Amino acid sequence: MDNQENIPQTNQQISENKGNRQVWYLLIIILVLAVASVFLYRGLKNKPTINEGPAYSVFVNDENLPLYFENKDKKLSPDVLPPEEFKTRFEADLVTARQYIIDEEAKEAGNEYQGYMGVANILRSLGQYEEAEQAYFDMIEKFPDDELIYHNLGVLYEDMHQYLEAAKAYSTSIAKKPEELIAYMKLADLYVKYSSQPDKAKEVYLKALEATNNNPEILKAFASYLETVEKNLPEALLYWQEVLKANPDNQAVKERVEELENKTN
First-to-last CA distance in the chain? 121
Residue 1 lies in a domain: no
- Nearest C-alpha neighbor of 143 from the set 106, 180, 113: 113
**Span 81-128, pLDDT tens digits:** 999 999 999 999 999 999 999 999 999 888 999 999 999 999 999 999
Residue 68 lies in a domain: yes
Residue 61 pLDDT grade (very low, low, confident, very high; cuts 50, 70, 90): confident
223-228 mean pLDDT:
94
44 has a pLDDT exceeding 80: no
Task: Identify the CATH number of the domain in which residue 134 sits.
Answer: 1.25.40.10
Residue 21 pLDDT grade (very low, low, confident, very high; cuts 50, 70, 90): low
pLDDT of residue 32: 53
Residue 155 lies in a domain: yes
pLDDT of residue 20: 58
Q: Answer whether 167's CB lies under 8 Å from 187's CB.
A: yes
pLDDT of residue 54: 43
Number of domains comprising the chain = 1
**Could you give the percent of the chain with pLDDT greater than 70?**
78
Residue 230 lies in a domain: no
**Per-residue DSSP letters for 98-129?**
HHHHHHHHTSTT---HHHHHHHHHHHHHTT-H
pLDDT of residue 10: 52
Residue 26 lies in a domain: no
Residue 205 lies in a domain: no
**Span 2-14, pLDDT tens digits:** 444 444 545 455 4
Residue 196 lies in a domain: no
**60 vs 31, which has greater pLDDT?**
60
**66 vs 55, which has greater pLDDT?**
66
| Sign of CA pseudo-dihedral 147, 153, 158, 162 | negative
Residue 46 lies in a domain: no
Residue 231 gets the label, from left (phi > 0), alpha (psi -120 to 50) or beta, of left
Residue 252 pLDDT grade (very low, low, confident, very high; cuts 50, 70, 90): very high
Q: Which domain holds residue 144?
A: 64-177
